[in-house]
Structure 1
Amino acid sequence: MFRTIRAKFVVGFFLIFCLSFLVLNVTLKEVIRTSNQKIITSDLIGLKNNSNVYVRQAFLINHFTNNDLYFGQMAEEMVDDLHHATSSDVSAYTVDGILLYSSDRQVFAGSNTDDLKQALSGKTAYTVTYEGSAGSVLYSYPVVIDGVKVGILRFAKDFSPLYEQSGRIQNLIFYVALTIFAAAFLFSYMLSRHITIPIVKLTRASTEVIAGNLNVRIGIRRKDEIGRLASNFGDMIRRISSQIATIARDRDRLKELNEQEKRFFDNVTHELKTPLTSILGYAEIIRENGESDRAFFEKGMNHIVEESRRLHGMVLNLLEMSQRNAGRGDVGLVETGGILRDVCDAMAIRAQRYKKRIALDAADGLYVLGQPDRLRQLFINLLDNAIKYSSPRSEISVRAEAASDRGTVRFAFANQGPELAPEQLANVFEPFYSADRRFKEEGSVGLGLSIVKSIVDDHGGTIRMTSQDGWTSVSAELPAAGSERT
């Protein structure tokens, strides 16, 4: 398509220049012809006036009567004098067209006699003859003395120098014009290439983009409209590529979330079904046997209580997940150190059950703006996670301190245990995700750390997990509200 445009440019410019050159030459020739005609006419008028003066003076000096007899008698003398005076060949004729005398008969012999015929009828006329660059004029007019036509004078004048000069001027202008038009055509051709080549590149690039290749790069560095078009085209490709990459990431993320959600519902179904089946089984046996078997009765009741607690915990986690987007609610000034100490005291019994110990180091006056219940839930989930996934008979370190350099309060929970891979750390705060199923506690559905991340985000804080050298640490930072009550 654009090759055709380039061809149209070239052909169009060529036709315009050829037509302009042709018009210029035709106009130039017409101007030169008109100018030469004016020069010749002016010269011939002067020749006629001078020759008329000469003839009248000859008639007056010799006091001859105004008749053609005297004109015939003085023809030879008159022709010779006019020949030398005008530098032209001269012939004298009677009023009937009979040659009386000529300065050079060969010049007038066999030539066009149209001018002579018109002179015989009383008119002044001339005939121009061209032979290459040479040009001559035959000029005839009737000689009239006192109103009587006494004869005819005919002049042959050579205007070759005039036509040679006109030819040189015409040739000079022709070649100058040809050079100018050739240079203009070359410039137009280069300009058309300068315009169309980037368009061809843009066309090829757009074809590549249509074919799905977004790695196209256009090497056009110009500061004109085409340069801006190329720059905008490049920006458009980069934006399209970025949007496609974003869509691909969102697609993969959505697919992953769908898979996690499916696993979540599978886990919830399984984890709810298992304790309910167990509770139902023990309850039916106890209803049938009553307390006849005291040992089985105690075992069944304990099992029902434990499974009920598990169900209660799972239901609370599900309720927390369903309410995570309900809003922050009322916030106030909260002293987090006291809440953390209460949580650690309450969770110490759970740690002892797993033969583990909690080591707490919490400063006083750690105030943040938040919701006490949600902050308590934050600490419970972090500590519970550390208890569940720490090594047997290990110590769980809990620290709370003010990070004055960043204006935050930092909470750190560290436990010894299996290290997590980088890809696991990257997804550990996602909902429905369980880092390692081999160490997953029965009844866990992968919501604890997701709830933690939600609480920290709602309080404008940050949280991260690291795992190295046999230790797994979770560090949460919340914006500090002040160092003491006001």
Structure 2
Amino acid sequence: MLRTIKAKFIFGFFAIFFLSFLVLNYTVKEVTWTNNEKIITSDLVELKKNSNVYVRQSFLINHYKNNKLYFGEMAEEMVHDLNFSTGSNVSVYSLDGSLLYSSDKKSFLEKIDTDLQQAIKGKTAYHISYYQNKAKVLFSYPVVIDGSEVGILRFSKDFSLLYNQSKRILDIIFYIAVVIFTVAFLFSYILSRHITIPLVELTHASNQVKKGNLNVNIHFKRKDEIGELAMNFNDMIKRINSQISTIESDRDRLKELNKKEKLFFDNITHELKTPLTSILGYAEIIEQKGESDRSFFKKGMKHIIEESRRLHNMVVKLLEISKGTTREYPFEKVDTSEILKDVCDSMSFRAERYKKSINSDIQEDLYVYGDDNRIRQLFINLLDNAIKYSSPFSQINISAELVKEKIILKFMNPSNHIEQEQFTNLFQPFFSINQEKAEEGSVGLGLSIAKSIVEDHKGIIRIFNENQNTIVYVEMIYMKDENLL
């Protein structure tokens, strides 16, 4: 498109200059020829006046009357005298156009004799002929003596010098005009390129932007409107890039928020499911044999009450989060041994449902600085995974001991061999090695939640194979009495 603009510039300038050149050349030529005709007319008027004076004097000197016969008799004398005095060839004609005498008949042998025809009709007329750089004027008029026409005088005068001078002047003006208009056209062409080339670059850049390429930048070392346009274009691209970066940042942030929201929902679902499962399990067993086993009834009711309270606290916390009024729960001294024993006891019924058993070896007074509910959730998740993914009819071994100021917890269950590269993914949300064994409603968040809880308590959690067993290893900082804040 801009190349079309460039072509329009060039064509427009060429048309303007060419037409201006033609108009100027034509005008100068017409003015020159008009001035030449004025000079010739003025010269012929003077020639006629002088010739008339000479003819009258000749009639008076010879005492001729205004008779056509006398005019014919003195024709030869008039021709010689007028030829000498005017420097022009002269011919004398009768009133009917018959040649009486001529100083040079060849000078009057023109095919065009309109001047003579006009003189025969009683009018003064002249005719200019221009041929091979020679200009000649034939001038005729009727001679009138005392109010009567007595004959016709016809002059042939050479004006070649005048016309040749005019031609030289026209040629000079023509060449000067050609030079001026050529220079002006070249300047206009350069000016058009100076304007259109930046526009071509701007068009190319805008096409790149339209195609999605925003890594464009235009550099014009100009301080005019086009330079300002380029600066504005670059500023516009920078602002677009900035806006796109902001949009992409907002998009990524929204994705992250959506991901966190989903993860939060899945975490809450998982945490709510665990106490509900425990409550439901004890309720079912109590319904089956609660009346016959009073001690189990009391034990089951105790666990149902504890899990119900824990569930209530979780729901309250969830409501606080939804209202934006979440408060931090301060860490305190927590006996992990008591919590772990209680979890093993409460989860034993779940193991029985899977035809499995739990064996625990837990050292007393294993204190940490933390949140008892979250630590309980940690033990429940690890034990729940061990129950679900251990081999059939297997025994799950739980141990907890103090080793060099560190509390070491191990959850060991017989299982199929796990490839080493899969261990790094086990703590990722929603990852499960064997989906066929996954419990309905499980989304694969147990180990992910466990890892988060351990790290919040500044501990370490690992998982590995050993002697056809899967072992979850947890290391937490032991809290002495003097470390209490």
Provide the TM-score with structure 2 as the length reference: 0.64
Query: Are 2:97 and 1:85 aligned?
Result: no
Deviations 1:120-144 (A, max 9, x none): 3322121111113221101111211
For residues 169 and 434 of structure 1, what CA distance do their matches in structure 2 show?
Answer: 108
The code of the aligned residue for 1:315 comes to: V
**Is 1:154–2:154 an aligned residue pair?**
yes
> Structure 1 residues 117 and 293, CA, compared in 2 at 3 Å: closer, same or farther?
closer
Describe the SS at the equivalent of 2:123. coil
The equivalent of 1:116 in structure 2 is: 116
CA separation of 1:147/1:392 partners in 2, compared to 1, >3 Å: closer, same or farther? farther
The 3-state SS of whatever aligns with 2:95 is coil
Q: Amino acid of the residue matched to residue 190 of structure 2?
A: M
Matched, 1:212 2:212: yes
Cα distance in 2 for residues equivalent to 1:232 and 1:160: 67
- Give how far 1:275 is off: 1.7
Over 3 Å counting, the alpha-carbon distance change for 1:39 and 1:276 in structure 2 is same
Cα distance in structure 2, aligned partners of 1:118 and 1:205: 77
For residues 56 and 392 of structure 1, what CA distance do their matches in structure 2 show? 159
Q: 1:51-70 to 2 correspondence within 5 Å?
A: 51-70=51-70
- The structure with the largest alpha-carbon Rg is 2
The match for 2:247 is 247
Distance in 2, Cα, partners of 1:229 & 1:128: 63
CA contact under 8 A between 1:91 and 1:154: conserved in structure 2? Answer: yes
SS of the counterpart of 1:59? helix
Label 1:81 to 1:354 Cα distance change in 2 as closer, same or farther (>3 A): farther
* Secondary structure of the corresponding residue to residue 214 of structure 2: coil
Provide the rounded CA distance (Å) in 2 between the counterparts of 1:50 and 1:195: 67
Q: Deviations over 1:297-354 (max 9, x none)?
A: 776566556545543443343223112179x9xxxxxxxxxxx9xx98xx55449986
Q: Is the 8 A contact 1:355 1:393 kept in 2?
A: no
What is the deviation of 1:147?
A: 1.6
Aligned counterpart, 2:318: 318
Distance 1:35 1:51 in 2: 24
Residue 270 of structure 1, CA deviation: 1.4
Which residue of the partner structure matches residue 11 of structure 1?
Answer: 11
State the Cα RMSD in Å.
3.9
Structure-2 separation of matches of 1:172 and 1:60: 52
Task: Identify the residue that residue 24 of structure 1 maps to in structure 2.
Answer: 24
Residues 354 and 392 of structure 1 are in contact (CA less than 8 Å); yes or no, is this contact kept in structure 2? no
Unmatched runs of 5 consecutive residues or more in structure 1: 329-339, 359-379, 395-432, 445-469, 471-486
Equivalents in 2 of 1:23, 1:434: separation in Å?
Answer: 96
1:354·1:393 contact (CA, 8 Å) conserved in 2?
no
Using a 3 Å threshold, how does the CA distance of structure 1 residues 103 and 112 change in structure 2: closer, same or farther?
same
Partner of 2:453: 441
Give the letter aligned to residue 243 of structure 1.
Q
Equivalent position SS for 2:453:
coil
Q: Match for residue 355 of structure 1?
A: 367
Show the 5 A alignment for 1:321-332: 321-324=321-324
2:66 counterpart SS class: coil
Using the TM superposition, give the Cα deviation of residue 48 of structure 1 relative to its aligned residue in structure 2, in angstroms. Answer: 0.1
Question: Contact 2:270–2:446 at 8 Å: present in 1 too?
Answer: no
Unpaired runs of 5+ residues, structure 2, are 337-364, 379-402, 407-444, 457-476, 478-485
Asked if 1:198 is matched to 2:186, the reply is no
Match of 2:99 in 1: 99
Query: Quick one: which amino acid aligns to residue 129 of structure 1?
Result: S
SS at match of 2:150: strand
How has the CA–CA distance of structure 1 residues 157 and 434 changed in structure 2, closer, same or farther, with 3 Å as cutoff? farther
Report the 3-state secondary structure (helix = DSSP H, G, I; strand = E; otherwise coil) of the residue aligned with 1:441.
Answer: helix
Name the SS of the counterpart of 1:141 in structure 2. strand
C-alpha distance in 1 between matches for 2:39 and 2:105 = 26
Count of residue pairs brought into register by the alignment: 363
Find the residue that maps to 1:126 and give its secondary structure.
strand
Change (3 A) 1:284 1:42: same
What does the per-residue CA deviation read over 1:165-193, in whole Å, with 9 as the maximum and x for residues that have no partner? 21122212222222222233223323332
CA distance in 1, matches of 2:220, 2:368: 69
Q: Residue type of the partner of 1:196?
A: T
In structure 1, the residue corresponding to 2:12 is in which secondary structure?
helix
**Aligned in 2, Cα 1:41/1:434: closer, same or farther, shift over 3 Å?**
farther
Identical residues among aligned pairs (%): 60
SS at 2:241's partner residue? helix
Equivalent positions of 1:458-473 (< 5 A) are none
Q: Given that residues 89 and 103 in structure 1 are in contact (C-alpha distance below 8 angstroms), is that contact kept between their aligned partners in structure 2?
A: yes
Partners in 2 of 1:325 and 1:22 — Cα distance? Answer: 90
Q: Cα gap change, 1:103/1:354 in structure 2, threshold over 3 Å: closer, same or farther? A: farther
Q: Which moved more, 1:141-150 or 1:37-46?
A: 141-150
> CA 1:254 to 1:79, structure 2 compared with 1: closer, same or farther past 3 Å?
same
